[in-house]
């Protein structure tokens, strides 16, 4: 069909026919959409009643409101972990003789109870000031007098941490090791005043027995 010979009335009629067909197609699409079944919605699960015994168990496990929010008393002293160690001038037996602990260095070889020399793997220096010790007197050092444990041991006075483990006999046995604080009150074992203290700690990478002032001491990483 040639549109050039088409009259104005014919053109208008053709446009109206196209519009009517488009309207019919749109109506058919809406009818099809309305005929489709609507998607089913999931129903929310109903709140089931909680048995009385379950409520009681839950309440027992739940901390009380005041317990959960109870503030810590700032005046209450905090418990600290006291580490083992020795104060300065304690002599540690190495493969080249007794050496003051403050002169001990990593890779120095120590004599051990097994007879096998072992190298120092780490050395720590811990400073506890007077203010700290006044609040935590349990960390204050203890002096063991020379000869107080019998048979001339220790060879000289030793000042050490109350958590340091020593063997109070000449036989090197880890099972007989005791902390110094467990021996507090025995003759020659005296608590020191809470003044500024420096503890030296060292280890050989595993638990071992070494000699300090002639006494066997248990050192651990």
Strands 208-212 and 215-219, by their bridges, are: antiparallel
What confidence category does residue 63 fall into, taking pLDDT thresholds of 50, 70 and 90? low
77-119 pLDDT, tens per residue? Answer: 566 788 999 999 999 999 999 999 999 999 999 999 999 999 9
Q: What is the pLDDT of residue 38?
A: 65
Q: What is the pLDDT of residue 215?
A: 95
Instruction: Give the residue-averaged pLDDT of 177-185.
Output: 93
More confident position, 137 or 68: 137
Whether the CB-CB separation of 213 and 155 falls below 8 Å is answered with yes
**Does pLDDT of 7 surpass 60?**
yes
22-48 pLDDT, tens per residue? Answer: 777 777 778 777 777 766 666 655 555
Q: What is the pLDDT of residue 14?
A: 73
**Does pLDDT of 1 surpass 60?**
no
pTM of the model: 0.64
Strands 97-100 and 91-94, by their bridges, are: antiparallel
Q: What is the pLDDT of residue 46?
A: 59
User: Helical H runs in the chain?
Assistant: 8-35, 52-61, 65-68, 130-135
Report which of 183, 134, 136 is spatially closest to residue 158, judged by C-alpha positions. 183
> Residue 146's Cα: distance from chain center in Å?
39
More confident position, 126 or 8: 126
Share of the chain above pLDDT 70, in %: 76
Whether the CB-CB separation of 153 and 215 falls below 8 Å is answered with yes
Q: What is the pLDDT of residue 73?
A: 59
What confidence category does residue 59 fall into, taking pLDDT thresholds of 50, 70 and 90? low
Phi, psi of 109 (to 5 degrees): -90, 130
């Amino acid at each position: 069909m040639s549109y050039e010979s088409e009259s104005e009335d014919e053109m208008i009629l053709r446009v109206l026919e196209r519009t009517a067909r488009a309207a019919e197609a749109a109506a058919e699409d809406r009818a099809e959409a309305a005929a489709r079944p609507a998607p089913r919605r999931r129903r929310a699960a109903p709140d089931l009643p909680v048995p009385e015994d379950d409520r009681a168990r839950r309440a027992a496990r739940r901390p009380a409101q005041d317990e959960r929010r109870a503030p810590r008393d700032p005046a209450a002293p905090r418990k600290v972990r006291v580490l083992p160690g020795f104060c300065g001038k304690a002599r540690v037996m190495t493969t080249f003789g007794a050496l003051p602990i403050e002169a001990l260095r990593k890779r120095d070889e120590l004599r051990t109870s097994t007879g096998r020399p072992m190298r120092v793997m780490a050395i720590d220096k811990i400073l506890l000031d007077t203010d700290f010790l006044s609040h935590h007197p349990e960390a204050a050092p203890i002096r063991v007098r020379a000869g107080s444990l019998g048979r001339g041991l220790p060879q000289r006075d030793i000042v050490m941490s109350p958590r340091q483990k020593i063997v109070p006999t000449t036989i090197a046995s880890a099972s007989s090791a005791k902390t110094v604080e467990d021996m507090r009150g025995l003759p020659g074992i005296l608590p020191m005043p809470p003044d500024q203290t420096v503890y030296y700690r060292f280890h050989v990478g595993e638990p071992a027995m070494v000699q300090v002032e002639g006494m066997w001491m248990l050192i651990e990483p």
